[in-house]
């Protein structure tokens, strides 16, 4: 009788472990899928000014719809950038965006960096940028902006 109870106990333990393993598999499958679970899509870009990589540019993507959320990037020495949703998440929500590009700001020592990008590429409350970008689930989500220095460059006020 004791031997029979031991066998039943092993069978029950085996069933419990099998059920737990199957539950874990189902949980993992339900959290993965075709699209990102947080709704964000990877987006990258490259920006040049007069044919040269635009290093250190601040890129802000403003949604054209009120439901959207702003994303941003900063270009490296090659003019390349990766769009970020927040300090801890790369990516951008699907939708249409106005793109703002500017170089003005402060360096690490507190010095002023002058604006090099004409105002037509900047999105403000008073004007829309000439640049736009559409993010969708079925595209590569990469932008290439070849800017020219033609037009007025407005320096920010202190």
Q: Which pair of structure tokens corresponds to residue 96?
A: 């249409």
* pLDDT the model gives residue 55: 96
In this predicted model, which residue has the larger pLDDT, 125 or 129?
129
pLDDT per residue as tens digits for the range 65-81: 988 899 999 999 999 99
Residue 44 has pLDDT above 90, yes or no: yes
Distance CA 145, CA 10 (A): 66
- Mean pLDDT over 94-115 rounds to 92
Residue 32 has pLDDT above 50, yes or no: no
* pLDDT the model gives residue 107: 83
Task: Count the neighbouring beta carbons within 10 Å of the beta carbon of residue 131.
Answer: 20
**Dihedral pair phi/psi, residue 67, rounded to 5°:** -80, -15
Q: Rounded to two decimals, what is the model's pTM?
A: 0.73
Q: Identify whether the C-beta of residue 143 lies closer than 8 Å to the C-beta of residue 98.
A: no
Share of the chain above pLDDT 90, in %: 58
Q: Say how many Å lie between the first and final Cα of the chain, rounded.
A: 89
- The DSSP symbol for 41 reads B
* pLDDT the model gives residue 19: 42
Q: Which residue has the tokens 């699907």?
A: 94
């Amino acid at each position: 009788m004791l031997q029979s109870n031991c066998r039943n106990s092993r069978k029950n333990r085996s069933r419990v472990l099998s059920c737990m393993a199957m539950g874990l598999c189902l949980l993992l499958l339900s959290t993965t899928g075709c699209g990102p679970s947080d709704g964000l899509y990877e987006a990258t870009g490259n920006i040049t000014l007069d044919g040269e990589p635009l290093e250190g540019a601040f890129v802000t993507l403003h949604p054209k719809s009120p439901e959207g959320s702003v994303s941003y990037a900063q270009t490296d020495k090659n003019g390349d950038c990766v769009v970020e949703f927040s300090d801890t998440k790369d990516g951008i929500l699907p939708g249409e965006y106005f793109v703002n590009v500017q170089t003005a700001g402060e360096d690490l020592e507190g010095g002023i960096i002058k604006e090099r990008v004409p105002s037509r590429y900047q999105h403000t409350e008073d004007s829309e940028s000439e640049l736009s970008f559409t993010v969708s689930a079925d595209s590569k989500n990469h932008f290439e902006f070849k800017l020219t220095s033609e037009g007025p460059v407005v320096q920010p006020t202190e």
